[in-house]
């Protein structure tokens, strides 16, 4: 059975869920958790689908000073204590600007409607990407 890890990293918390995928492709939530109080009073909490608490642990502020450290800590707990080895990972992106108001597949050339040339711009320079370099 495969596992999918879905994360949502905010400014002061990291929320995550682990889903199992059966052979028929059906999803079932296995674990729901969060690391909150990042940089102030870090606390990792997670439970199973039936509500049973799997972890409720506080950390020293120096151990979890920021979001990358929170992701690492929660990931280590999932891997080391829950034996979760995801076959896929998703991350919720909250702000996509005025052009991206729905989910899009992450790929080298995101297309909104096939005619939107703004999707073919270098995100660093905002200059158009020549057609010959697009894939």
Query: What's this model's pTM, rounded to 2 decimal places?
Result: 0.68
Residue 43 placed within a domain: yes
Residue 120 placed within a domain: no
Q: Is the pLDDT of residue 132 over 50?
A: no
Rounded to an integer, what is the distance from CA 68 to the centroid of its chain? 12
Q: Bigger pLDDT: 98 or 19? A: 19
Residue 116 placed within a domain: no
* pLDDT recorded at residue 17: 96
Q: Give me the number of domains the chain comprises.
A: 1
Q: In terms of residue numbers, what domain contains 67?
A: 2-91
Average pLDDT over the chain, rounded to an integer:
80
Residue 119 placed within a domain: no
CA dihedral 77, 104, 102, 114 (to 10 degrees): 170
CATH number at residue 13: 3.30.420.40
Structure confidence by residue, pLDDT tens digits, 59-117: 999 999 999 999 999 999 999 999 999 988 888 765 556 666 666 655 555 444 444 44
């Amino acid at each position: 059975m495969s596992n999918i890890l879905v994360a949502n990293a905010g400014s002061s918390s990291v929320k995550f869920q682990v889903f199992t995928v059966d052979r028929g492709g059906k999803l079932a939530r296995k674990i729901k958790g969060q690391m909150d109080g990042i940089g102030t009073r870090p606390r990792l909490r997670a439970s199973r689908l039936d509500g049973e608490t799997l972890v409720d642990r506080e950390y020293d502020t120096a151990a979890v000073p920021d979001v990358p450290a929170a992701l690492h800590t929660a990931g280590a707990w999932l891997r080391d204590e829950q034996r979760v080895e995801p076959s896929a990972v998703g991350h919720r992106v909250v702000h996509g600007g005025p052009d991206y108001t729905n989910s899009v597949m992450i790929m080298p050339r995101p297309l909104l409607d096939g005619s939107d040339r703004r999707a073919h711009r270098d995100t660093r320079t905002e200059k158009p990407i020549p057609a010959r370099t697009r894939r």
